[in-house]
Structures are given as C-alpha cells and as structure tokens.
Structure 1
Amino acid sequence: MTLAPYIHAMGRGPGRARNLSQAEAEQAMTLILQGQADPHAVGALLMLMRYRGEIPAEIAGFVQALRATLPEMPQVDLDWPSYAAGRTRGLPWFLLSARLVASTGARVLLHGWNSHQSDGADVRGALNAAGITQANSLSDLAHVLDQHAIAYLPLEILSPRALELLNLRQVLGLRSCVNTVLRVLNPAGAGAAVQGVFHPPYRGLQQAAAHLLGQRDLCILKGGGGEFERNPTKDVQVFRLVGGQALETTLPALLPEPRRLPGADYPLSALQDLWSGGTCDPYLEQLVTGTAAAALMALGHAPDAAHTLATAHWAQRDCLIST
C-alpha cells in the first residue's frame, strides 16, 4: 500500500477534498511508521494536513498508530509532555511544578524533545538543576520512577521513528501535526494528563482528540512557550476532561500586578535556588505552585483544593524529595 489514497482524498481540490477519518489516519500513520511510505508522500500528507487544518479524528488516528509501536511502559499517574520546539524564553520553571506534583505521591512522566537549543534554557539541560532524573533507557525508566516518582524520558528513547517525523520540520520549514500527536500521545496510558499549547485553538483540538482516545482526565492551557506553565498574573482558561466529560474552567489570577513570564536573565542555578529556598521570589513561587495546582486538577482535585495542596507541599518541599 501507499499513501496515495489518503493524499488524493485530502488534495482533490475545492469542494471535493476532505479530511481523513480516524481509521484512515491510523492506517496512513501505520504505513509511515513501518517505513512503507515514500518520503515525498509523507511530506505531502503532512503539509496537506497543515494546509487544511488537522482535525481531532486525524490526531487520534495518528496517536493510535504510534501507540501500537511503543513498548510496555511502567505505570504512571500523570502524563506531562514537553514538545515546545520553538521555546525561546527563559528557564522551564514548570519542571519544579512537575516535581512538586510528584511530591504529593503521584508518579509523573515527563517526555519530550527540546534539547537542541543552545541558550542554556532548554528543558533537558535544566533537569539536573530542577532535581529531575532523565531515564536513559526504557528499562531505566521504571527504576527512576520507583526511586523519585518522576522521570524525564527523551523522545529518541521513547520512539526514534517519531523523532524522525518531528524533525521533518527542518526539511519542510513548517510545523506539522506530529507536534500535536506527541502532546496527545500519553505513551504510558496515564489516567490523567496535562498539555500546554502556544496557539489557543489547539486547546479544543487536543481536548477533542483525547476524548476520542478515551482519556479520562486532562487539563490543557495556553502556557509559556507552549509548555504547561501558567502566568500567575493572568486569568487562565483550562480545557479539561473530567471523567471523560469535556468542560472548561477559568482559573483567576493569583497575583494582582500584570507581569510577563520571566525572560532569559536567570541562570540555571535559579531553579535549584528557588526550590531550596535560597531565592525568595513571590512571583516565581506562584508560577510554580499555580502550575502544579492546575496539574493536580487533572489528578482529580477541585481547583481550590488543588491550590491548597500545591501551596502546602511547596512549604514542606525540603523534607519531601531530596535531589
């Protein structure tokens, strides 16, 4: 088989072209992942999807095909993807939020690909300063999770073929739906997940795709650099799945004075300093605890209770997890 039928369906012209069904998308991605598709056809399909605008059924179908290629994963409670390839701002403070969630007893899987940046603020380069261990193999992942309740798994270990597709951006010059697929992937099948987006319309797209895939609990927000990270001085609209039901929740600003997310003027050591208490910055503390609270909502906590829990564990953090 080839990708020709799927390209034909999407590219026939005005009035006749259509999006793919979920089953068609799964079949097309299966061909791609098996290496049976011509590279030119892969690029054509991805760019047609970008031009038409990907729909939930296509994302869900692609995710199903990719999940079928993944090995068995350890049990986790919260899936936390990090695929903001265009991240240009400062430190990934949300790493401390993920660590804070893990301190409550939830097992958190961070996975992603954004270490190619050289400005010192990439996620993978900040893991050590944030007190988070990278798993260097799938067998290592279970050990790290058992020891720390949180781990970061690089995409090249999780799925080398998915990384190849993601890196087609360098050839095509444009983002493809693969970015969205990886955010929705939830490779370990966690019951709860968080997702960040840069462009607001993707909140609804990813919410609907996750619903098609049977995701039970989910929180999506427009975050700093496209990551799951909230600005504490702004109201934030969270697109959710609660027990499989779609809803939206607006979280009020935590601080009164408007302020942009911090830029690149912090060294990597600022992450460790903030966690250890060596630095006291109310804005950054609210950023970290507010983001953690939004993630705790995905784990089933009501908004007020989630904020109370995040704040309490932040106050006790030194005795909860050691680096």
Structure 2
Amino acid sequence: MSLAPYVRILARGQGRARSFTQDEAREAMTLMLREGADPEAVGAILMLMRMKGETAPEIAGFTDAAQASLPGWTGPAPALDWPSYAAGRTRGLPWFLLSARLVAEAGYPVLLHGWNSHQGESASVRNALPALGIAEARAPAEVGPALEGTGIAYLPLETLSPPLFALLRLRDKLGLRSCVNTVLRMLNPGGARAAVQGVFHPPYRELQADAAALLGLADLTVLKGGGGEFEHHPAKDIQTFGLRGGAPWTGTTGIQTIGHQRLSDAPDTPGALWEGTLRDPFAEAIVLSTADLALDTLGAEADAGTLWAARRRLAA
C-alpha cells in the first residue's frame, strides 16, 4: 500500500490538512517500517509532522506500530523501562547509569535501550557501561539472562530494530530531529509496567505522558533532564509529568544540594564513584536524586541513600 494517502492527510493545505488519528498513525508507521517504503514519502510525513507538531494520538499510534514490529520478547519482563536517546553533545558523563544500577540492585530489573554513539567519547553511554558492570546486549535474546543476573542490561537500537534505527538516522539526511525520537522514548520493548523518560524541550513532558496513557502504561515519570536524558540536576526543583496507576500525575523533584554547578562539572570517572575510590558530593547527588525519582515511579519504598551505602562494589 502507498504512503501517499497519509501524506495527503497532513499536506492538503490550509483549512484541509489535519493530524492523524491514532489508527491512521499506526497504519502509516506500519508502512514506513516495511522494506521498500518510499523514502520521499517517509521524509515528507516526518517533516510535515515536525512543522505542525505531534499529537499524543499520533505518537501513540506510531509507537504501537513500532512495538508490533519488534521481535518477540523472551525472558523476564523488566520492572522499569529506561530509554536513552539524547543528543547531549555538551553534557557531562551519563551519571544516570549509576542511578539505574542502584534501582536494579534494589530488586527492580531495568532495561536501558537507546542510541548514543554520536556522542563524544567522554559522554558516551556505551563507553561507561563496562566500568559499571552493565551488559550491552549483542542480540535481543541476551537481555533475559542479563536481567536475571545483574538485573540490568543495555540494548542498542540498531540491535533491537534495524528498521527503526534507519528511521532515526534520517536526521542525517533531513538535517532535523523528527517524531521518531519521541516514539523511541515510548518504545518500552520489554513491556515494563513503569518507565522513566527524559526530554530536552518542556512541551514534550505532557505529550509523552498523554501518549503513554493512550498506550496503557501504568506508571511514568517524564523529566526535563541533562541533555534530554532522565537525569536530575540536584540543585534544581524541576516539575515532572507522567502517570500513576494509569492516571495523569504531576510532581516536583525537590532540591537535594545547593550550588550553581552544571552537570558537566562533575568528575569524569563514574566507575570510581561507584567503587568508592572517588568522593564527589555533587556527582553523588545527581545519582541519588535521579534514583529516588525512578524508585518513586516504581512505587518502591527503598531510599536511594540507603541503597547507595549498601551497594555492591564491582571489584569485590
């Protein structure tokens, strides 16, 4: 089937063009992910949506189709879905990885998934994984054993779904971000009941929360975080959006430390911070405040500070 009817819906002209319904968005994304999809039509749809702005039903429909295109999930479902798709070229190290590991050690398996290879070496999520004992899955089938073992795994997008990866990389040709970035944050490939999501632009907080409700997600926290990741600046009281028990929810992060530091001011050795050979109050505050937000999303009674004091040293 041609994508032309879907281009026409968005591009009929002033007074006639409209947004997709959720069903139309699902149908359009299904076609866009098929081998041989017309690249001009795919690009037209993505850029027309960027110009008008995405709606929650569109994001939900696109995500529904993207989820349906994934290989069947094997192994245990994660408790928490943690997407990582930020550009963040100027941000510091991914301290949120320590937060995710802390949540996993509390007994809540965490699935990280994303694509960050465009980042500089010092800020790369993947470069930080080995020092933190977080397995990078080379195939979707490797995720289950990792979750059963350490309780945490990172699944690269190009491993999870080459077609979705190709849609994301259209940014290199179009020169602009598209709604695919938002869809990937909503992807939840392991079917977790709870998720945390970071955004760079504040309007996406409510958009993603509304789309998640349409998709039936139970618990979600969306945060304008460092470089667009789910990572809290501990000296800022930031408004959060999401879901609790499937119902709309808003909150604030609170302030955990005083100062005017930037996230990039933290030291560049996350492994040393975890091992205890480095003590840096600001970096620890990033990790703990982010972990507390994730634990709250899960409805956990655990306290990040207590978990941090009892964490397992990787070198032991």
Unaligned runs of 5+ in 2: none
What SS class does the counterpart of residue 40 from structure 1 fall into? helix
Letter in 2 for 1:60: A
Q: Name the residue aligned to 1:277.
A: 276
The equivalent of 2:13 in structure 1 is 13
SS across alignment from 2:252: strand
Contact 1:87 1:226 in 2 (8 A): no
5 Å matches for 1:127-166? 127-166=129-168
Distance 2:147 2:89 in 1: 26
- Structure 1: how far apart are the matches of 2:65 and 2:81? 19
**Structure 1 residue 169 and structure 2 residue 168: aligned?**
no
1:1-323 aligned within 5 A: 1-73=1-73, 74=75, 75-263=77-265, 266-267=267-268, 270-301=269-300, 305=301, 309-318=303-312
Q: Structure 1: any 5+ residue segments left out of the alignment? A: none
TM-score normalised by L of structure 2: 0.96
Q: CA deviation at 1:36?
A: 4.7
Distance (whole Å) between structure 1 residues aligned to residue 310 and residue 198 of structure 2: 27
Contact 1:85 1:113 survives alignment (8 Å): no
Q: C-alpha displacement at 1:37, in angstroms?
A: 2.6
Number of matched pairs: 314
Q: For residue 122 of structure 2, give the secondary structure of its aligned residue in structure 1.
A: coil
- Report runs of 4+ in structure 1 exceeding 3 Å deviation: none
Matched residue of 1:117: which SS? Answer: coil
Letter in 2 for 1:238: T
Q: Tell me which amino acid in the other structure corresponds to 1:310.
A: A
The one-letter code matched in structure 1 to 2:297 is A
Deviation at 1:86, TM superposition (A): 4.0
Code of the aligned partner of 2:231: E
The alpha-carbon distance between structure 1 residues 209 and 322, as it changes in their structure 2 partners (threshold 3 A), is farther
Deviation at 1:322, TM superposition (A): 6.2
Shift of 1:252: 1.3
Share of identical aligned residues, percent? Answer: 57
CA distance in 1 between counterparts of 2:136 and 2:278 reads: 25
Post-superposition Cα deviations, 1:138-183, rounded to whole Å, max 9, x if no partner, equal 2211111111100000001110100000000000000000000000
Structure-2 separation of matches of 1:191 and 1:173:
35
Distance 1:139 1:322 in 2: 27
- Give distance in 1, aligned partners of 2:100 and 2:315: 14
Deviations 1:45-104 (A, max 9, x none): 000000000111111111111111112223110000000034332110000000000010
Offset from partner CA, 1:177-233 (integer Å, 9 cap, x none): 000000011011100000000001000000000000000000110000000000000
- SS at 2:213 equivalent: helix
The normalised TM-score by structure 1 is 0.94
